């Protein structure tokens, strides 16, 4: 069996993981192992991100991190961990400038300064970008290039970490599944960084890639770390719904709205956002939670579009302006029979980002010594609602911090401790599953059920009865894991990978659902129909833990 030994193990190679690898080396780590269940630098959300990256560069108008922080806290509806939010806003300009030195290609103004645009919830133009639909790919490519230049960063693709290993209460490494070979791999590490991204893939309608199923949260919980703010799943209000679009990003309408405004209309063709408290007039300023609420309520009231969303219309924008702003995309849309100058499209909310995650301090350290978390896997900075454009800087800033402090931690340890027999049960489990067995259902079928259940009962609007139904079913599905059918075979066996994805997804889903049931108020992305008001008594983040027997409990105050 393959056994690897490293100073720093980084689980997940998106923006946070790759930045963590660079920072770890810069801070003295001699050996870094960067693993990803997809291809390094090409899986997860970073490479999919569309457009805006917020940082108080003051390139367009006076700005400073304090103002960025004020906007972040306001968007977070009183629930941000202020220390983490401040770290995000203070470090973001340095990370953006460093990316510029690495030639990411931020769009620039005529005077050579980085161009910045306004985005919903920001009090001034603060969001930089590379090009339409190209910011995430450019960020990922730049980090891949930097990482690729450093020989002491070992990169391993197609390696899914299934279990973290602790020794004497400290992080000691991990057990992973080599997805191509179907074989277990053990990894001893002096420090581990979880940078495995978010969980939106556990919803039926999501903007996620295939590998955003909540693995990082499940790994952290099982290793003894705490999660915070798990109930806050951000739904992107204007995800594409109809007509059918193939090979295009479901959140592509965001940049259209930044540039051209666009009108949201209900099924009767009337604008409706103002009725829900939005003051947007022509420009795109309504925060995501409010827009999600307004659209869902219009549909519920029978005023939706034919496919169950609302209309997004650019019919009032002259064709020449559409072509000038989005020429090549307009041509691609035409191939799908969409002519924005003549007809609206239908949009509706989709799960897009997760505010919650591993509970960390400003060093990105969890309560398990040697275990750090960064990026979307980390919770707290964004409170109950993320400001648009804050997620990429969060990945870069928290990644840098996690790598730096993991390197400092590793520097204090003489050798990675891998006790005799460590991870043996996790290794045995991979082998048992790969032998195959008959069962009550396939993991793929249960993954499908999980996504439907979360969409129906734990979406943007929740109530006790639905959450309890979901919790009961999630627990039953977790108990049933040993009885699921696995196709025999090691090499490239999808049912083996599905089983581990399902196990992690069920744990993450239970954490979200239990936290949502515990929070008996409405705030930001968490709206309870049975508790519609925001209640000051709930103005603290809630913590989720897992007991030794696997029981998940939520609602303990931070
Ligand atoms: C379509 C889309 C558009 C977006 N647009 C924007 C935007 O314009 N601006 C903005 O600020 N934010 C945006 N976001 C959000 C932002 O992209 C993410 O929050 C951020 O990139 C997360 O970075 P990360 O490194 O934490 O995670 P990711 O980039 O998701 O990387 C996580 C990595 O971990 C790997 N992984 C997962 N589980 C395991 C495991 N068990 N073992 C090994 N590897 C594992 C995954 O394969 C993946 O490569 C967008 C998100 C999406 C989905």
CATH number at residue 290: 3.90.700.10
Q: How confident is the model at residue 485 (pLDDT cuts 50, 70, 90)?
A: very high
Region 92-104 average pLDDT: 97
pLDDT of residue 315: 93
Within a domain: 544: yes
Nearest Cα residue to 69 out of 61, 81, 59: 81
Distance set, CA 190 to CA 11, 29, 416 (Å):
14, 10, 5
Is residue 529 domain-shared with residue 433, that is, in the same domain? yes
Query: Which stretch of 166-180, 282-296, 313-327 has the lowest confidence by average pLDDT?
Result: 282-296
Is residue 429 domain-shared with residue 543, that is, in the same domain? yes
Q: Which two structure tokens, joined as six digits, stand for 362?
A: 């400003």
| pLDDT over threshold 90, residue 388 | no
| pLDDT over threshold 80, residue 484 | yes
Within a domain: 531: yes
pLDDT of residue 294: 93
Of 318, 350, 382, which residue is a domain's last?
Answer: 350
- Condensed to tens digits (0 to 9), the pLDDT of residues 264-279 reads 999 999 999 999 988 7
Give me the sign of the Cα torsion angle 107, 112, 113, 118.
Answer: negative
| pLDDT over threshold 90, residue 420 | no
Region 179-186 average pLDDT: 96
Of 316, 350, 384, which residue is a domain's last?
Answer: 350
Is the CB of 53 inside a 6 Å radius of any atom of ligand 1? yes
Is residue 440 domain-shared with residue 540, that is, in the same domain? yes
Choice from 247, 391, 499 to test ligand 1 binding pocket (greatest atom count within 8 A of CB): 391
Distance set, CA 245 to CA 83, 248, 339, 433, 490 (Å):
41, 6, 13, 38, 36
Is residue 465 domain-shared with residue 549, that is, in the same domain? yes
| pLDDT over threshold 80, residue 320 | yes
- Condensed to tens digits (0 to 9), the pLDDT of residues 55-68 reads 999 988 899 999 99
Quote the ligand 1 centre to 480 CA distance (angstroms).
30
Region 421-436 average pLDDT: 94
Is the CB of 266 inside a 6 Å radius of any atom of ligand 1? no
Burial (0-12, 13-18, 19+ Cβ within 10 Å), 204:
middle
Contacts of 292 (CB under 8 A, 6+ apart): 235, 236, 237, 349, 460, 525
Is the CB of 158 inside a 6 Å radius of any atom of ligand 1? no
Q: How confident is the model at residue 250 (pLDDT cuts 50, 70, 90)?
A: confident
Region 326-336 average pLDDT: 86
Within a domain: 204: no
Q: Residue 184, Cα to own-chain centre: how many angstroms?
A: 27
Within a domain: 304: yes
Pairing between β-strand 153-156 and β-strand 32-35 as defined by DSSP bridges? parallel
Ligand 1 atom closest to 41 (CA) = 49
Instruction: State how many domains the chain has.
Output: 2
Region 385-391 average pLDDT: 93
Q: How far apart are the first and last CA of the chain?
A: 41
Better-scored residue on pLDDT, 332 or 447: 447
CATH of the domain at 528: 1.20.58.100
Better-scored residue on pLDDT, 278 or 69: 69
| pLDDT over threshold 80, residue 256 | yes
| pLDDT over threshold 90, residue 165 | yes
Q: What percent of the chain has pLDDT over 90?
A: 82
Is the CB of 119 inside a 6 Å radius of any atom of ligand 1? no
Q: How confident is the model at residue 186 (pLDDT cuts 50, 70, 90)?
A: very high
Choice from 16, 37, 45, 235 to test ligand 1 binding pocket (greatest atom count within 8 A of CB): 45
pLDDT of residue 366: 98
- What average pLDDT does the structure give for the chain? 94
Ligand 1 atom closest to 208 (CA) = 53
| pLDDT over threshold 90, residue 531 | yes
Q: Residue 444, Cα to own-chain centre: how many angstroms?
A: 22
Within a domain: 178: no
Region 331-347 average pLDDT: 91
| pLDDT over threshold 80, residue 431 | yes
pLDDT of residue 289: 78
Region 107-127 average pLDDT: 91
Is the CB of 220 inside a 6 Å radius of any atom of ligand 1? no
pLDDT of residue 279: 78
Is residue 536 domain-shared with residue 431, that is, in the same domain? yes
Q: Which two structure tokens, joined as six digits, stand for 116?
A: 């910045």
Query: Which stretch of 275-279, 296-300, 390-394 has the lowest confidence by average pLDDT?
Result: 275-279
Within a domain: 533: yes
Region 20-47 average pLDDT: 96
Within a domain: 497: yes
344 is in which domain, residue-wise? 237-350
| pLDDT over threshold 80, residue 197 | yes
pLDDT of residue 558: 65
pLDDT of residue 414: 82
Q: How confident is the model at residue 157 (pLDDT cuts 50, 70, 90)?
A: very high
Is the CB of 142 inside a 6 Å radius of any atom of ligand 1? no
Is residue 250 domain-shared with residue 346, that is, in the same domain? yes
Ligand 1 atom closest to 160 (CA) = 42
What amino acid positions are annotated as catalytic residues?
288
Quote the ligand 1 centre to 35 CA distance (angstroms).
14
Choice from 14, 147, 173 to test ligand 1 binding pocket (greatest atom count within 8 A of CB): 14
Of 299, 318, 350, which residue is a domain's last?
Answer: 350
Distance CA 163, CA 402 (A): 20
pLDDT of residue 390: 97
Is residue 428 domain-shared with residue 342, that is, in the same domain? no
**If you ran DSSP here, which 8-state letter would residue 297 be given?**
H
Quote the ligand 1 centre to 304 CA distance (angstroms).
31
Within a domain: 222: no
| pLDDT over threshold 70, residue 132 | no
Is the CB of 161 inside a 6 Å radius of any atom of ligand 1? yes
Distance CA 46, CA 34 (A): 16
Q: How confident is the model at residue 305 (pLDDT cuts 50, 70, 90)?
A: very high
Quote the ligand 1 centre to 126 CA distance (angstroms).
21
pLDDT of residue 282: 67
């Amino acid at each position: 069996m393959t056994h690897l030994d490293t100073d720093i193990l980084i689980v997940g190679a998106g923006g946070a993981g790759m930045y963590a690898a660079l920072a770890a080396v810069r801070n003295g780590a001699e050996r870094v192992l960067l693993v990803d269940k997809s291809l390094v630098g090409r899986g997860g959300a970073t490479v999919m991100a569309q457009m805006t990256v917020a940082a108080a560069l003051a390139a367009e108008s006076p700005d400073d991190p304090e103002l960025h922080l004020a906007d972040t806290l306001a968007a977070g509806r009183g629930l941000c961990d202020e220390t983490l939010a401040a770290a995000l806003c203070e470090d973001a300009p340095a990370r953006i400038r460093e990316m510029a030195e690495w030639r990411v290609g931020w769009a620039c103004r005529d005077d050579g300064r980085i161009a910045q645009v306004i985005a919903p919830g920001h009090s001034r133009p603060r969001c930089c970008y590379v090009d339409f639909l190209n910011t995430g790919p450019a960020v990922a490519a730049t980090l891949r290039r930097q990482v690729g230049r450093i020989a002491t960063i070992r990169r391993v693709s197609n390696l899914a970490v299934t279990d973290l290993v602790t020794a004497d209460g400290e992080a000691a490494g991990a057990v992973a599944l080599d997805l191509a070979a179907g074989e277990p791999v053990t990894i001893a590490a002096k420090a581990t960084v979880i940078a495995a991204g978010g969980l939106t893939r556990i919803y039926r309608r999501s903007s996620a890639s295939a590998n955003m199923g909540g693995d990082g949260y499940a790994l952290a919980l099982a290793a003894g770390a705490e999660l915070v703010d798990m109930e806050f799943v951000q739904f992107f209000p204007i995800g594409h719904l109809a007509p059918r679009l193939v090979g295009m990003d479901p959140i592509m309408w965001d940049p259209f709205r930044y540039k051209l405004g666009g009108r949201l209309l209900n099924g009767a063709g009337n604008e409706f956002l103002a009725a829900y408290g939005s003051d947007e007039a022509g420009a795109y300023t309504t925060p995501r939670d409010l827009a999600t609420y307004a659209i869902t309520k219009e549909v519920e009231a029978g005023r939706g579009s034919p496919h169950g969303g609302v209309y997004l219309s650019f019919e009032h924008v002259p064709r020449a302006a559409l072509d000038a702003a989005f020429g090549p995309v307009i041509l691609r849309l035409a191939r799908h029979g969409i002519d924005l100058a003549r007809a609206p499209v239908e949009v509706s909310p989709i799960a897009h980002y997760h505010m919650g995650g591993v509970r960390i301090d400003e060093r990105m350290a969890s309560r398990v010594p040697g275990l750090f978390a960064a990026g979307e896997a980390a919770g707290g900075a964004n409170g109950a609602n993320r400001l648009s454009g804050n997620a990429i800087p969060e990945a870069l800033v928290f990644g840098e911090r996690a790598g730096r402090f993991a390197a400092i931690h590793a520097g204090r340890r003489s050798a990675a401790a891998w006790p005799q027999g460590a991870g043996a049960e996790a290794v045995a489990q991979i082998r048992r599953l790969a032998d195959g067995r008959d069962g009550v259902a396939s993991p793929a079928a249960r993954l499908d059920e999980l996504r439907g259940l979360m969409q129906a009962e734990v979406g943007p609007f929740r109530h006790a009865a639905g959450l309890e139904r979901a919790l009961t079913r999630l627990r039953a599905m977790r108990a049933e894991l040993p009885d699921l059918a696995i196709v025999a075979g090691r090499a490239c066996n999808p049912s083996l990978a599905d089983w581990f994805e399902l196990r992690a997804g069920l744990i993450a889903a239970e954490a979200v659902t239990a936290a949502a049931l515990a929070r008996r108020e409405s705030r930001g992305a968490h709206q309870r129909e049975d508790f519609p008001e925001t209640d000051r008594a709930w103005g603290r983040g809630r913590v989720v833990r897992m007991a030794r027997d696997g029981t998940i409990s939520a609602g303990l105050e931070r």
